[in-house]
Structure 1
């Protein structure tokens, strides 16, 4: 059996025992109601939203509790906004967290190999199947990383655990592949909506980052989940993500031009941030000799040293961002904080701490916007953008560059401010940033990490089904073979006209020796003393069992052949099957049409 046709271990692990026995599934009546009625899917999405809001509120509360206990700060005080933390705690708490995470990585990460796909990867490759065990590990690691002061956001843990519960619910409902992917997107929408008190941003985050497409059929479930999660956290937390002070800069030609400048700055800086994370990861992996463990400790020590300079680099940065927005900081303070926060985030992620760049990108973007406003207000006080407007434009632009979700960021700006002027500027800044990053870099942070791991994933679009169609699943094994040294006269007798189309040749050692077409065999006039080997074509053209349908189509285009053989491996080259171009194209077109039907029609 080929690798592409074997059940994926991640899918198997995430499905658990739900497919093993019907007793692990929800009742048949409920499953049929959800599968056949759109209102059923919407109700499930609302349940997912309620659960996501509860999970986000719980994780957030646990993080604040960890900060209060470990750093000896008041419970309601954000870690990055706390100005009084002893140097011992600033330095030693991250190291203690690194030791714990290193032990988890050494003793447990190997047991979860193949089960650590996030929502984007699961939707792209595994049809929305997310491992619950792996997701719990990722969420715990994220909570520990943030709780012990690492400069990472909790959004990775939020989306991971919410997507995992959504996937498990969908699997228990025996949901179709498209519906399961949609439910995973509902979980992510609920997570982001609850985290930022922004249901629209959460919904479009799901469309742009997790689902990869917007359809009218998916709109109501995703919105229902996002709103339900928002209502839960609004009732439990009673706090707004961010308050933007000041009177917004009115829309004008000068204002649009300046937010374009902010967008350009943030686009280049977002690329710099992503490269910095990759550089930190490579460097720390290169200088450490203990497998994973020492890398955590070295990174934590470096983070602690940065925390001694300013506590704003610790944690996700919510509190520091709010304080910087209302305190009118100097350009030197802003520039220093930008550099230190960037270094802290890159070191934290490079050292192996779990978390995301969502929160950090918002903080860095707002500070870049403020820095632009502060620097320009010196020589041109009447022309410069109001700091709040510049901060929101920078936040949206940098968030777009890192996440690759411009409309989600625009919705976040609208929900934070409720102001058209700021939102109009945010649209321009996000558009400019998205265009530059896409043109010069081509990746968001998530897909960039996939690229570094060797995964050819450029987004959450469902490409997993392509990998499931391999040469081993397309080939037929009822083909005629003959020795390459067989004479043409004997072959003409053994294989009369009309009975076969091709003959696959075998060399003396049993390996593949080429293909002879039946019309060419019977049309040959000098058949007395010549062998089949003289008529062989495509001697070096063959397919391996694991090759996917896309590569098969490419191989047909390159070889200009109608039929190709499948061999067991590249060394032995024993023929195990035959694949025709017509069958491949027909199968590919049928599957593609089926997936399009799933996306656009429920």
Structure 2
């Protein structure tokens, strides 16, 4: 984004219009709204409702996905798709292809109707104050269910989070919630979604803090925990999911165990970066396919996915069943390596081709494969110190999940809740810490924020930066600024602008375009003006702002130009001055608004 522009610089584009429609929804009675706005217990009660609703929504989508797998792939209803090795080649080939055709039709039909309404929970909390489009979220959830149901190597977690966040946002809008409370309610929906998806309330809560809310505060603790626990109770009673089974005796904590989990964290950190780059590369390749305006991207992706599935059915679906199956069957290193490569390719192809879904569970499966592969290769040579396969698998799962999702505490809690074993969790803590450190240092993005970066969004996390984009040069500038033609003699200018009356004078050319700015002190400091004109004193001729530039970019512009005042022009072509912005006013406005937002985060 260009801030200090030259005449040939394109105009700076304003904030994207990805926010949901601004039409005011109907609201709940005033007594209910006031109770929630003014009493913390009211917000907690709403969070419980969101948790119950989230658990129900996740259970419904879960069952629909299992039903689709059972019908389309002709497998038993309670069997995981990725753990089933008796799928016919005809179904392996035709089902993903049929799903790709349906998704292509949906994409073509709804491409224009939902443009700018598909912000997820992270983007909505970062840019739009927690406002999530319900219609756009329903479309995303439907596409995610269809993608997973037809066997694409994507997880349902993205669909869970999207629909739960959308319902939470709708509840917040009907309560006329404050911006900070709206963001908190969206986080409650995300916490409920992840809690139900993995039957892990602690992991769901920390996922909300780290990935969706961007901060942990005492004011947000109780609502988020209430939502996560409520959702977990609903899911446990409706679906009865089981813990991850870790065979054998876990490796006890020791110096050797800590050292090896650190090594696994390093390996998984680099592999997580490789996975994210692979997905980005896959997207670029598929976007280059312009046949029928890209309508064949999903079809080509489905054919490639089917080819991989014919080699190994473990690449189909999110991978829950395959991960558990590989943990308890003691596979060879060759099988583990083959599955690791095929699953990575399948996930990159599925997401790059346009199948909807997430990389959450795929990252867990890939991490567990790396951990098992490490243990399997090392055990024959160092049987006394090598990590037990289950311990190594959990450490790798948590480390790779941390690298991709960017939520180390959430992954650590997930390890504890899935295994119920404290010794395994110690290794997970070390591996997650190493992975988080390396990925932040070398890459700087999680999977979600990396995709925002590829789209051109300056989002590094869910912290609220939407208000920053709302404060622009157009809202900060003063329009009552003194102007003068550049060819005005200095002698006349000294008479028109006496000392102390004005500080800066904006110059204009004959055609009305911006010609620079003159400091009043320099104007009256000219010892012998003679026949000189104002233009000879002009500064910042090619340094100016455009109306759309945000407050942070304005401050950066002041640092670069070392100016006290910058002129705002209408556009880079006409260059007509429409206002001036002073650094002191910008700093005062920014610090006041920042203090207000900090108060909203830590206090209600």
TM-score, normalised relative to structure 2: 0.96
Structure 1: where are the runs of 5+ without partners? 19-23
Alignment of 1:190-589 (within 5 A): 190-589=192-591
Structure 2: where are the runs of 5+ without partners? 4-10
SS in structure 2 of the partner of residue 543 of structure 1: coil
Cα offset, 1:576, TM superposition: 0.3
CA contact (8 A) 1:480 1:503 kept: yes
CA contact (8 A) 2:138 2:163 kept: yes
Q: Report the CA distance shift for 1:156/1:12 in structure 2 as closer, same or farther (over 3 A).
A: closer
Cα offset, 1:299, TM superposition: 0.5
CA contact (8 A) 1:4 1:468 kept: no
User: Is the aligned partner of 1:17 residue 2:24?
Assistant: yes
Who is 1:105 aligned against?
107
CA distance in 2, matches of 1:529, 1:272: 67
CA distance in 2, matches of 1:340, 1:305: 10
CA contact (8 A) 1:556 1:562 kept: yes
CA contact (8 A) 1:244 1:325 kept: yes
Range moving further from structure 2, 51-60 or 480-489: 480-489
Q: Report the CA distance shift for 1:12/1:333 in structure 2 as closer, same or farther (over 3 A).
A: closer
CA distance in 1, matches of 2:13, 2:355: 34
Alignment of 1:112-131 (within 5 A): 112-131=114-133
Cα offset, 1:341, TM superposition: 0.7
String of CA shifts for 1:76-115, please: whole Å, max 9, x gaps.
1111111111110000100000011111111212211111
CA distance in 1, matches of 2:290, 2:526: 67
CA distance in 2, matches of 1:106, 1:286: 17
CA contact (8 A) 2:20 2:116 kept: no
String of CA shifts for 1:25-56, please: whole Å, max 9, x gaps.
11111111111111111111111100100000
CA distance in 2, matches of 1:188, 1:25: 23
Who is 2:186 aligned against?
184
SS in structure 1 of the partner of residue 515 of structure 2: strand
CA distance in 2, matches of 1:532, 1:186: 61
SS in structure 2 of the partner of residue 298 of structure 1: helix
CA contact (8 A) 2:258 2:427 kept: yes
CA contact (8 A) 1:68 1:74 kept: yes
Who is 1:61 aligned against?
63
CA distance in 2, matches of 1:320, 1:403: 21
Q: Report the CA distance shift for 1:477/1:220 in structure 2 as closer, same or farther (over 3 A).
A: same
CA contact (8 A) 1:563 1:578 kept: yes
CA distance in 2, matches of 1:594, 1:155: 34
CA distance in 2, matches of 1:10, 1:339: 36
String of CA shifts for 1:146-172, please: whole Å, max 9, x gaps.
000000000000000001111111111
CA contact (8 A) 1:563 1:581 kept: yes
CA distance in 2, matches of 1:61, 1:551: 48
Range moving further from structure 2, 225-234 or 100-109: 100-109
Decide which of 82, 85, 106 is 2:84's aligned counterpart: 82
Compute the RMSD of aligned alpha carbons: 1.6
TM-score, normalised relative to structure 1: 0.96
Cα offset, 1:599, TM superposition: 1.2
SS in structure 2 of the partner of residue 365 of structure 1: helix
Who is 1:46 aligned against?
48
Cα offset, 1:16, TM superposition: 3.5
Q: Report the CA distance shift for 1:548/1:77 in structure 2 as closer, same or farther (over 3 A).
A: same
Cα offset, 1:530, TM superposition: 2.0
Cα offset, 1:265, TM superposition: 1.5
Range moving further from structure 2, 220-229 or 288-297: 288-297
Cα offset, 1:6, TM superposition: 8.1
Who is 1:21 aligned against?
none
String of CA shifts for 1:401-431, please: whole Å, max 9, x gaps.
1101111000001111222211111100100
CA contact (8 A) 1:4 1:470 kept: no
CA distance in 2, matches of 1:248, 1:45: 37
CA distance in 2, matches of 1:560, 1:341: 53
CA contact (8 A) 1:10 1:130 kept: no
Give the total of aligned pairs: 595
CA distance in 1, matches of 2:288, 2:134: 32
Range moving further from structure 2, 234-243 or 582-591: 234-243
Cα offset, 1:59, TM superposition: 0.5
Cα offset, 1:12, TM superposition: 4.5
Cα offset, 1:492, TM superposition: 2.5
- After TM superposition, the runs of 4+ consecutive aligned structure 1 residues lying more than 6 A away are 2-8
CA contact (8 A) 2:20 2:132 kept: no
CA contact (8 A) 2:51 2:192 kept: yes
Who is 1:139 aligned against?
141
SS in structure 2 of the partner of residue 269 of structure 1: helix
Q: Report the CA distance shift for 1:307/1:69 in structure 2 as closer, same or farther (over 3 A).
A: same
CA contact (8 A) 1:192 1:201 kept: yes
String of CA shifts for 1:123-161, please: whole Å, max 9, x gaps.
111111111111111111100000000000000000000
Decide which of 95, 98, 101 is 1:93's aligned counterpart: 95
CA contact (8 A) 2:20 2:117 kept: no
SS in structure 1 of the partner of residue 148 of structure 2: helix
CA distance in 2, matches of 1:426, 1:136: 35
CA distance in 2, matches of 1:137, 1:543: 39
SS in structure 1 of the partner of residue 581 of structure 2: strand
CA contact (8 A) 1:132 1:164 kept: yes
CA contact (8 A) 1:5 1:470 kept: no
CA contact (8 A) 1:396 1:410 kept: yes
String of CA shifts for 1:353-404, please: whole Å, max 9, x gaps.
0001111111111111111111111122222211111111111011111101
Cα offset, 1:525, TM superposition: 3.3
